[in-house]
Amino acid sequence: MRILLTVFVAVSIFVLSGCSSQSLEAPASISQPLPTVPPDYAGKTIPPKVDVSAGADIFRTDCVTCHGESGHGDGPASQALEPHPVNLVALSKISADDFLFWKMSTGVDGTAMPAWKSTLTDQQIWQVIAFIRTLK
């Protein structure tokens, strides 16, 4: 059951919009401008001294199935999802930390992207975001 839940969650993470492209430019499916970050999340930034390697470990465990090793939305489960997982490299180029924290925390309606705030601590979410910022 835990494996099934992990696979479901991994398939769901960061599915912010449909994009399975390897392009580093923002895919057409990422709406620009992005939605306004709610006040509870607005202005949040990655705290100092975040453990990026811990974020990499969490990403490999929970995100690769959908978003792929490089975060381009091309994980093994990506083609089975509609919309397809977002290209995190492209998204990270056009979004602030608070947007990523909000979406990772609360999930995305109409997609397989779950809310991680009940599974991961705020610190772990920041670790993942810091790791995503390193992807190319």
Residue among 99, 113, 104 at smallest CA distance from 31: 99
Q: Is residue 13 part of a domain?
A: yes
How many distinct structural domains can be found in the chain? Answer: 1
CB within 8 Å of 17: residues ≥ 6 apart: 27, 29, 30, 31, 83, 86, 108, 111
Q: What is the pLDDT of residues 48-82, one digit of tens each?
A: 999 999 999 999 999 999 999 999 999 999 899 99
pLDDT confidence band for 29 (50 / 70 / 90): low
- Looking at residue 27, the DSSP 8-state letter turns out to be P
Structure tokens that stand for 13 in this block: 């993470």
Identify the domain containing residue 124 by its residue range. Answer: 2-19+40-132
CATH of the domain at 122: 1.10.760
Q: Are 16 and 117 in contact (CB under 8 A)?
A: no
Q: Is residue 29 part of a domain?
A: no
